[in-house]
Amino acid sequence: MLRLQFYGLLRLMLSGKEALDLPWQEGDTVGRILEKFQAVETIPLTHKLISEQGILHAGTIILLNRRNILHLDKLDTPVRDGDVLALFPPGAGG
């Protein structure tokens, strides 16, 4: 299994859902996990994260086991059983 965690506005959009465990398969990537998530979640969310062209939007950081996937292989980053994927739209103001 792989754990997907939601923070901030994303959690609010998901009616307070904090996390979701998803089945993991050999060859899964961050992008594939987000597809799996959207297949089981009726509330549309992944369009907030990824454009139709498959490019990451800039308003949410995605951390795989504490590391920003931008510095890994972005949506093609491989994931493993037991990984934790956190979706966090930070506050920008001060």
Partner 1 sequence: MSVPDSERFSRQLLVWGEEKQRQIAGSTLLIAGLGGLGATVSQIMARAGVATLHLVDDGAVAWSDLHRQSLYGECDVGRKKLQVAEERLKAINSGIDIIAHESRIDRGFCIPPEVNSVVDCLDNFVSRFDLHEATPTGRFFVHGGIEGEQGQVLTLMKGTSQPLDEIFGGYLQPKGPIPVSADNVIIIAGLMCNELFHIMCGAPKLLDRFLVVDLSSFTFSFLEV
Under DSSP, the state recorded for 60 is -
CA distance 56 to 48: 9
Number of Cβ within a 10 Å radius of residue 88: 16
Q: Measured from the CB of residue 23, what is the shortest distance to partner 1 in angstroms?
A: 23
What letter would DSSP give residue 2? E
* Residue 27 or 93 with smaller CB distance to partner 1: 93
Looking at beta carbons only, is 40 or 71 nearer to partner 1?
71
What does the binding site for partner 1 look like in residue numbers (CB under 8 A)? 5, 7-9, 11-12, 16, 18, 56, 58-59, 61, 63, 66-68, 70-71, 86, 88-94
